[in-house]
C-alpha cells in the first residue's frame, strides 16, 4: 500500500493536465518522457476502480503533446465502444492541455479500435500480398456455425452411429485451438474430453471448413487474428507493419490470448513504445482462450524486463468492501501484489447473508431492493450478479411477482436476431457473390424457395462471370412468384452495382425486406423498429464494407435484449452474469449463490488454474459495488438432470473463497442469535427415574 507521502506528493512536472492524477498514475503517464528516456516496455497493473481509463487516456495525450504523430499511435481495446470512449477521453485531455477553444476538435486517433477491427483493416490493405481477395466478407458467429454445419453434413458426420459434436461445439473447439495455439488433442483432453474420440474426424472437418471459407472468399472472426499473426511471422511483412506505429498501447491486457500476445511481441520485440494496461486479478475469460499468463509473464518477455507500475488507489468502493475484496484475492496462488485503498471509509461492512434456499434468496433480494429504493437508491443503481444465466430464474419470477422491472444482460446480440441477419445477409451477398451462407439465407426468404433451389442458384452464380445476369436468368421453378424473383434480382443488381450509395444501400435493402418481415413474424412492428435502429447506426459509417466489418466485429445490443415491461418504466433493476458485469459498477450489488458448486462452478474445478479463475470471478463481482455489497449463501439449492438421481435438492457450503479466516471482514446476516439467558431453577414437579426406565428396556 502506498505510504502517506506517495499519496499526497505533488506532480514532478508542471503540466496542468496531469494535476488530476495521483502519483502512481503520473508515473505511468510520464514513462519514457523526453526528459527521462526509458526504452523499456511499460506494464500498468491497474486494480479495480483505480482510474485505468483515465491513466491510459492521459498517457496517449502526453505522447501527442511530446510530439508523437497520432497517425502512428496504435490503441487496442476489446470493444468498439471502449475505443470510442478512449478516443473521446484523449480528445478532452488534449483540448484542456492545448487550450483549444470550444468547438475546435483535438487530433483524432485513426488507429484506435479492437484487435479484430484493426486486424480486418490491415488484412484489407495487405490482401494482395497475402493471397486474399480485397472484397472478402467476414462471417459472424451464426454464419460460421452454419458453414461448419454444412461441411459437417457433407463429410457425413451428421449420420454417424454415435454422437458427433454439434456444429456450435465444433466451431468452439476450432476457435479454442486457433486462439490458444495448442494441438487439437490437448484442447480436447483439457476442455472437451467427451469429444476426444473424434480427434481425427475433427481434424478432417476443420481442414474442410478452412477450404470452404477460402472457396467462398470469407473469413471468420478468428481468422482476423490468425491471418494477422501469420503475417507477423514473415520478417518483411512484420517489419512493414511494425514501422507504421511508434507507440502501441493495449487495454485489458489480461484478456488477451496467445495469438494477440504474439502479434504485440512481433510488432515491438524490444518493448520500446509498448504499453499494456490490465489487472491479473480480473482475468476471467479463459473460456475464450484468454490466458492470465500473458500479463503474469509480460515483464520477462524482453531483453530488458518491462517496467511495472501498480495503481492501488480505488475511486469506486468504500474501504470495507476493498478490505474484503483484497482478502479474497490475497489467497490467490500467483498474482501481482497490491492492496487497494481509498479515502472513502464507509461505515457498512459487506454482508454475508444466509438464506434457506433459492426462493428465500429471491425474496430477500427483492425485499432489500425495495427497501433501498425507498431510501433513495434507484433501481438502476442496484444489480444482482450471478455465475451462470440460469441462477437468476427464481429471482426473475419474484421480481415479476412484485412488479419490480428489470433488465437482464448477457442475452441475444443484435446480429443474432433473425431479421437483422436477413438484411445483413443481403448486403454481404451483394458485397461477395461467392458468399454461400449469405446467399443461401437470402434466397430462402422468397416463398417457394427451399434448400435445393438455393443450392442450384449459388452453384450457378459461382460459375458465372456476371453474377447479376446469372441471377436474372435463373429459373427458380413454378412455386416461386415471378414478381418476387424480379424484385430480388432488381435489389441485388442495385446493391452489387453500388448505385444507391451508402447508407442508401441499407435503406434499399430494408425496403425490399419489409414485406417478407411482415409475412414471417407476428411481431413485425417491433422488429421493424430494430431495422430503423440499424439504419440509424449505418449513418455513422462511410461505406458498406466498413459498416459490415465493424458491426460484425462489435455489434450493439438488440432492443430484444431488454424485455418489454422495463422499457415502459423510468427505472429498472439490473440482472447480469459476472462476466457481463466486468467494467461496470453499481451502488448496491447482490452476489447470488455464493456456494461451492456455483462459485466456483462445479464444471470449473478440473484444475488449479480453473479454480484460480473462479476466485478472480468472485473478486470481479465484489469490486463492482460502490457502497453496499451482499454475498448471499443459500443453504440448499435445486439442481436438475443429475444422472442417476434426477432433479433434487442439494445442501450447500459457503464458497471456499471466503474461508473462516476472513469472515471477520463481513457482517453476518441474519445476526447470530444471542446466547440464551440462564433460566431460574426448574419448576418443582413429579420426579422421574429415567435411568431405571433405560435399564428396564433390556430386562
Mind giving me the DSSP string for 557-579? BPGGGS-HHHHTSS--EEEEEHH
- CB 79 within 8 Å of CB 554: yes
Give the per-residue pLDDT at 226: 94
Averaged pLDDT, 33-47: 91
Q: What percent of the chain has pLDDT over 90?
A: 52
* Cα gap 131→116, rounded to integer Å: 19
What is the band of 637 on the pLDDT scale with cuts at 50, 70, 90? Answer: low
Q: Among candidates 126, 134, 130, which has minimal Cα distance to 432?
A: 134
Compute the residue count for the chain. Answer: 699
Q: Is the pLDDT of residue 676 over 60?
A: no
What was the pLDDT predicted at 3? 41
Beta bridge partners of 139: 220
Percent of the chain topping pLDDT 70: 89
Q: What is the pLDDT of residue 340?
A: 94
pLDDT of residue 695: 72
pLDDT at 147: 93
Please report which helix (H) or strand (E) contains residue 276, including its range: strand 274-278
* Ordered DSSP codes for 401-428: HTT--EEEES--BGGGSHHHHHHHHHHH
Residue 690: what pLDDT? 74
As a whole number, mean pLDDT of residues 525-548 equals 79
Q: Are 322 and 340 in contact (CB under 8 A)?
A: yes
pLDDT at 567 over 80: no
Cα gap 619→195, rounded to integer Å: 32
Closest of 306, 402, 330 to residue 363, by C-alpha: 402
d(CA 353, CA 631): 6
pLDDT score of 17: 76
Could you read off the pLDDT of 345-386 as tens digits, one per residue?
887 899 999 998 888 999 999 999 999 999 999 999 999 999
Report the distance separating Cα 534 and Cα 547, nearest Å: 10
CA distance 513 to 562: 24
DSSP 468: H
What is the per-residue pLDDT for 330? 94
Q: Is the predicted pLDDT of residue 559 greater than 70, yes or no?
A: no
The predicted pLDDT at position 661 comes to: 96
Please give the Cα distance from 558 to 144 (Å, whole number). 20
Over 90: is that where the pLDDT of 70 sits?
Answer: yes
- Sheet order of strands, 247-250 included: 112-114, 73-77, 247-250, 274-278, 42-46, 307-311
User: Cell triple for residue 692?
Assistant: 431405571
33 three-class SS? strand
557: pLDDT confidence band, cut at 50, 70 and 90? very low
Q: Who wins on pLDDT, 403 or 409?
A: 403
Contact between 94 and 107 under an 8 Å Cβ cutoff? The reply is yes
Contact at 8 Å (CB) between 252 and 278?
yes
Instruction: Report the alpha-carbon angle 573-81-535, nearest 5.
Output: 90
On the question of a cis peptide bond just before residue 503, with omega within 30 degrees of 0, the verdict is yes
What is the average pLDDT score of the chain? 86
Ramachandran category for residue 694: left, alpha or beta (phi over 0 → left; psi -120 to 50 → alpha) = alpha
Q: What is the mean pLDDT of residues 101-116?
A: 83
Going by pLDDT thresholds of 50, 70 and 90, the confidence category of residue 565 is very low
CA distance 619 to 622: 5
User: What is the Cα 554 distance to its own chain's centre?
Assistant: 10
| Residue 266 preceded by cis peptide, ω within 30 | no
Cα→Cα distances 206→148, 157, 396, Å: 8, 12, 40
Does 132 have pLDDT greater than 70?
yes
Please compute the mean of the pLDDT values over residues 510-532 and round it to a whole number.
82
Residue 14 has pLDDT above 50, yes or no: no
Of the listed ranges 99-113, 428-442, 447-461, 485-499, the one predicted with least confidence: 99-113
What is the reported pLDDT for 465? 87
CB 44 within 8 A of CB 309: yes
User: Do residues 616 and 282 touch, judged by C-beta distance below 8 A?
Assistant: yes
Cα 38 to Cα 25: distance, rounded to the nearest angstrom: 17
Alpha-carbon distance 456 to 692, whole Å? 96
pLDDT of res. 357:
87
Q: What is the pLDDT of residues 169-190, one digit of tens each?
A: 999 999 999 999 999 999 999 8
CB atoms within 10 A of CB 640: 8
**Predicted pLDDT at 555:** 56
C-alpha cell at 177: 485451438
pTM for this entry: 0.78
- Give yes or no for residue 410 having a pLDDT over 50: yes
Which of 26-35, 293-302, 634-643 is the least confident region?
Answer: 634-643
Would you state the pLDDT for residue 679? 52
Which residue matches cell numbers 478490505? Answer: 323
Q: Does pLDDT of 683 surpass 70?
A: no
Confidence of residue 650 (pLDDT cuts 50, 70, 90): low
| C-beta separation of 669 from 354 below 8 A | yes
Residue 685: band (very low, low, confident or very high) from pLDDT cuts 50, 70, 90 = low
Of 502, 452, 504, the C-alpha closest to 480 is 452
Q: pLDDT by residue (tens digit) across 241-289? A: 999 999 999 999 999 999 999 999 999 999 999 999 999 999 998 888 8
Is it the case that residue 219 has pLDDT exceeding 50?
A: yes
H or E element at residue 636: strand 636-642
Contact 346, 318 (CB under 8 A): yes
DSSP secondary structure letters along 2-70: --HHHHHPPPSS--GGGTTS-HHHHHHHTTTBTTB---S-EEEEE-TTS-HHHHHHHHHHHHHHTT--G
pLDDT of res. 414: 56
CA dist 162 and 277 (Å) reads 47
Amino acid at each position: 500500500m502506498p505510504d502517506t507521502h506517495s499519496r499526497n506528493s505533488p506532480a514532478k512536472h508542471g503540466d496542468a493536465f496531469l494535476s488530476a492524477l495521483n502519483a502512481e498514475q503520473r508515473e505511468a503517464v510520464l514513462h519514457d518522457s523526453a526528459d527521462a528516456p526509458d526504452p523499456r516496455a511499460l506494464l500498468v497493473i491497474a486494480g479495480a476502480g483505480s482510474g485505468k481509463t483515465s491513466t491510459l487516456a492521459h498517457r496517449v495525450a502526453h505522447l501527442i503533446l511530446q510530439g508523437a504523430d497520432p497517425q502512428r499511435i496504435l490503441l487496442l481495446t476489446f470493444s468498439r465502444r471502449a475505443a470510442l470512449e478512449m478516443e473521446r477521453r484523449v480528445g478532452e485531455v488534449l483540448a484542456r492541455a492545448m487550450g483549444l477553444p470550444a468547438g475546435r476538435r483535438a487530433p483524432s486517433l485513426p488507429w484506435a479500435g479492437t484487435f479484430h477491427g484493426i486486424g480486418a483493416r490491415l488484412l484489407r490493405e495487405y490482401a494482395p500480398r497475402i493471397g486474399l481477395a480485397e472484397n472478402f466478407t467476414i462471417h459472424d458467429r451464426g454464419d460460421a456455425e452454419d458453414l461448419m454445419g454444412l461441411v459437417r453434413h457433407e463429410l457425413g458426420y451428421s449420420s454417424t452411429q454415435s454422437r458427433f459434436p454439434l456444429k456450435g461445439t465444433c466451431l468452439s473447439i476450432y476457435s479454442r485451438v486457433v486462439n490458444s495455439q495448442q494441438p487439437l488433442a490437448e484442447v480436447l483432453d483439457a476442455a472437451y474430453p467427451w469429444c476426444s474420440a473424434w480427434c481425427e474426424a475433427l481434424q478432417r472437418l476443420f481442414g474442410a471448413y478452412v477450404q470452404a471459407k477460402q472457396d467462398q472468399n470469407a473469413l471468420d472472426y478468428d481468422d482476423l487474428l490468425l491471418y494477422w499473426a501469420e503475417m507477423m511471422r514473415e520478417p518483411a511483412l512484420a517489419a512493414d507493419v511494425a514501422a507504421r506505429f511508434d507507440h502501441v498501447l493495449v487495454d485489458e491486457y489480461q484478456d488477451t490470448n496467445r495469438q494477440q500476445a504474439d502479434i504485440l511481441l512481433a510488432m515491438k520485440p524490444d518493448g520500446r513504445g509498448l504499453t499494456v494496461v490490465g489487472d491479473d486479478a480480473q482475468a476471467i475469460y479463459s473460456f475464450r482462450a484468454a490466458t492470465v499468463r500473458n500479463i503474469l509473464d509480460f515483464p520477462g518477455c524482453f531483453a530488458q524486463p518491462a517496467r511495472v507500475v501498480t495503481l492501488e488507489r480505488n475511486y469506486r468502493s468504500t474501504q470495507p468492501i476493498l478490505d474484503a475484496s483484497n482478502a479474497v484475492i490475497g489467497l490467490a496462488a500467483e498474482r501481482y501484489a497490491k492492496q487497494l485503498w481509498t479515502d472513502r471509509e464507509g461505515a457498512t461492512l459487506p454482508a454475508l447473508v444466509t438464506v434457506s434456499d433459492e426462493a428465500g434468496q429471491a425474496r430477500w433480494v427483492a425485499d432489500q431492493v425495495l427497501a433501498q429504493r425507498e431510501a433513495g437508491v434507484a433501481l438502476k443503481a442496484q444489480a444482482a450478479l450471478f455465475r451462470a444465466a440460469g441462477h437468476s430464474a427464481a429471482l426473475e419470477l419474484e421480481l415479476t411477482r412484485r412488479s419490480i422491472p428489470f433488465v437482464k444482460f448477457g442475452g441475444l446480440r443484435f446480429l443474432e436476431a433473425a431479421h437483422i441477419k436477413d438484411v445483413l445477409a443481403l448486403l454481404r451477398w451483394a458485397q461477395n457473390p461467392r458468399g454461400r451462407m449469405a446467399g443461401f439465407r437470402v434466397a430462402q426468404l422468397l416463398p417457394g424457395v427451399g434448400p435445393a433451389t438455393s443450392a442450384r442458384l449459388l452453384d450457378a452464380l459461382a460459375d458465372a462471370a456476371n453474377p447479376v445476369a446469372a441471377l436474372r436468368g435463373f429459373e427458380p421453378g413454378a412455386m416461386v412468384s415471378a414478381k418476387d424473383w424480379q424484385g430480388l434480382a432488381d435489389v441485388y443488381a442495385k446493391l452489387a452495382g453500388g448505385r444507391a450509395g451508402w447508407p442508401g444501400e441499407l435503406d434499399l435493402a430494408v425496403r425490399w425486406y419489409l414485406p417478407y418481415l411482415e409475412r414471417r413474424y407476428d411481431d413485425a412492428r417491433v422488429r421493424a423498429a430494430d431495422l430503423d435502429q440499424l439504419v440509424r447506426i449505418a449513418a455513422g459509417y462511410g461505406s458498406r464494407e466498413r459498416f459490415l466489418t465493424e458491426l460484425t466485429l462489435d455489434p450493439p445490443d438488440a432492443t430484444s435484449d431488454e424485455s418489454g415491461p422495463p422499457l415502459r418504466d423510468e427505472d429498472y433493476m439490473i440482472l447480469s452474469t459476472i462476466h457481463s458485469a466486468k467494467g461496470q459498477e453499481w451502488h448496491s450489488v447482490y452476489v447470488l449463490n455464493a456456494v461451492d458448486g456455483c462459485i466456483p462452478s462445479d464444471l470449473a474445478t478440473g484444475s488449479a488454474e480453473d479454480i484460480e479463475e473462479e476466485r478472480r470471478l468472485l473478486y470481479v463481482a465484489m469490486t463492482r459495488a460502490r457502497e453496499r455489497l451482499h454475498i448471499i449463501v443459500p443453504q440448499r439449492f435445486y439442481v436438475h438432470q443429475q444422472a442417476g438421481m434426477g432433479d433434487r435438492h442439494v445442501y450447500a457450503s459457503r464458497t471456499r473463497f471466503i474461508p473462516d479466516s476472513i469472515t471477520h471482514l463481513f457482517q453476518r446476516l441474519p445476526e447470530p442469535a444471542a446466547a440464551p439467558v440462564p433460566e431460574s431453577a426448574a419448576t418443582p414437579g413429579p420426579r422421574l427415574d429415567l435411568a431405571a426406565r433405560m435399564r428396564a428396556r433390556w430386562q
